[in-house]
Amino acid sequence: MDRSSLLQLIQEQQLDPENTGFIGADTFAGLVHSHELPLDPAKLDMLVALAQSNERGQICYQELVDLISSKRSSSFKRAIANGQRALPRDGLLDEPGLGVYKRFVRYVAYEILPCEVDRRWYFYRHRSCPPPVFMASVTLAQIVVFLCYGARLNKWVLQTYHPEYMKSPLVYHPWHRARAWRFLTYMFMHVGLEQLGFNALLQLMIGVPLEMVHGLLRISLLYLAGVLAGSLTVSITDMRAPVVGGSGGVYALCSAHLANVVMNWAGMRCPYKLLRMVLALVCMSSEVGRAVWLRFSPPLPASGPQPSFMAHLAGAVVGVSMGLTILRSYEERLQDQCGWWVVLLAYGTFLLFAIFWNVFAYDLLGAHIPPPP
């Protein structure tokens, strides 16, 4: 039912004869029953919560329209939160007779969302089309590129030590920083099988569920923002080093998700969350430590500096700032939030500074950049 037909039905039934902007919950419930309005269980639960949040047990007409049309503003979510005591105590974990795919959707809801209302909303509104194609496509492209270079170089571990590796048009190297595409395309190249495996695993285990819940546009924006921030940060802080791997985007996703879990610890229902949090932090820290070791204590003689580790840290900063703002805004318009514009302004300022740095600082500081092999 769309907004116009709902308005017409309410007017015909004279549910708000005094034009107060509110409708009695019992009256509307009778309307739903008599006209068999197609409201899914999640919306019916939220309808009860909206009525509970009002002192007189009434529903704001605008909030009712937003509910029917699947729009959720910040005030709408606050009203839902205030009336959550009226929601049924049983959650999605008690839903019987679900198929394999719906059980996976339920698993994703409990992994990503901290609120039972949001979990039910996502579960009943989720559609399998479009699928989470961004993270899957990026991971597949990274695997294909790695296999191509592995076969060409006949090297599958520490590929960066091969003299032909740095000649790739995808790698970011400070000598070629004028080729702007390299600030993004380096995410398709990897040091070796171990780095590719780590990144691919996290992209599929964390990136795909995040994309299923928050959508392609938001997650692709977060991932690419982490990748771009990674290469630009290296160009400022580690001026002589190249960059390879999608760790900037991966750490943006992981840091945003972990920060969201910590800030909503009581509401998260994912099993063994403390153990999984510790394991995730240990794995991410180990990968950073490994990158630092390869940068400053390379195990093999190399013709130039090895890839920098600063992309990992830059991605984590993007995740905690921009990523957390995105993940906390489920089903809300980002442009309506002041915090989003603050984060966007900070990121834009960083981009402008990094561009000017790459254009002028290398010559002004007289930085000696060894050419690629």
* Confidence (pLDDT) at 332: 79
DSSP state of 113: -
Alpha-carbon gap, residue 116 to 87, rounded angstroms: 9
Cα separations (Å) of 70 from 166, 281, 328, 344, 371? 50, 36, 18, 26, 55
22-24 vs 58-60, strand pairing mode: antiparallel
Biggest distance spanned by C-alpha atoms of the chain: 84
pLDDT in tens, 33-82: 655 555 556 666 666 666 655 566 666 655 666 665 555 544 445 444 44
pTM of the entire structure?
0.79
The answer to the question of residue 76 being in a domain is no
Q: Which residue of the set 53, 247, 321, 329 is catalytic?
A: 247
Q: Which residue has the tokens 């004279």?
A: 14
Question: What are the backbone angles phi and psi of residue 334, rounded to the nearest 5°?
Answer: -65, -35
The answer to the question of residue 177 being in a domain is yes
Q: Which residue of the set 53, 173, 312, 321 is catalytic?
A: 312
Report whether 304 contacts 322 (CB < 8 A).
no
* Confidence (pLDDT) at 56: 62
The answer to the question of residue 21 being in a domain is no
The answer to the question of residue 373 being in a domain is no
The answer to the question of residue 358 being in a domain is yes
The answer to the question of residue 100 being in a domain is no
Q: CB neighbours (10 Å) of residue 247?
A: 32
Report whether 138 contacts 203 (CB < 8 A).
yes
For residue 250, which amino acid is it?
A: V
- 257 counts as catalytic: no
User: Which tokens sit at 213?
Assistant: 């819940």
DSSP state of 172: B
Q: Which residue has the tokens 């005030």?
A: 75
Our count of domains for the chain comes to: 1
Residues 6+ apart with CB under 8 A from 256: 210, 222, 319, 320, 322, 323, 324, 326, 327
The answer to the question of residue 109 being in a domain is no
Q: Which of 75, 54, 220, 63 is nearest to 133 (CA)?
A: 220
Report whether 314 contacts 229 (CB < 8 A).
yes
CATH number of the domain where residue 302 is located? 1.20.1540.10
Extended strands (E) in 31-100: 58-60
The answer to the question of residue 344 being in a domain is yes
* Confidence (pLDDT) at 63: 62
Domain that holds residue 140: 133-365
Q: Which of 226, 186, 235 is nearest to 206 (CA)?
A: 226
Residues 6+ apart with CB under 8 A from 354: 232, 233, 235, 236
Q: 22 by DSSP, 3-state: which?
A: strand
- 220 counts as catalytic: no
Per-residue pLDDT of the chain (373 residues; tens, 9 = 90+): 444 555 555 555 555 566 665 666 666 666 656 555 555 566 666 666 666 555 666 666 556 666 655 555 444 454 444 444 344 444 566 667 788 888 899 899 989 988 877 887 788 778 888 889 999 999 999 999 999 999 998 888 888 888 788 889 999 989 888 999 999 999 999 988 989 999 999 999 999 999 999 999 999 999 999 999 999 999 999 988 999 999 999 999 999 999 999 988 888 888 888 888 899 999 999 999 989 998 888 777 666 678 899 999 999 999 999 999 999 888 778 888 889 999 999 999 999 999 999 999 888 888 778 777 6
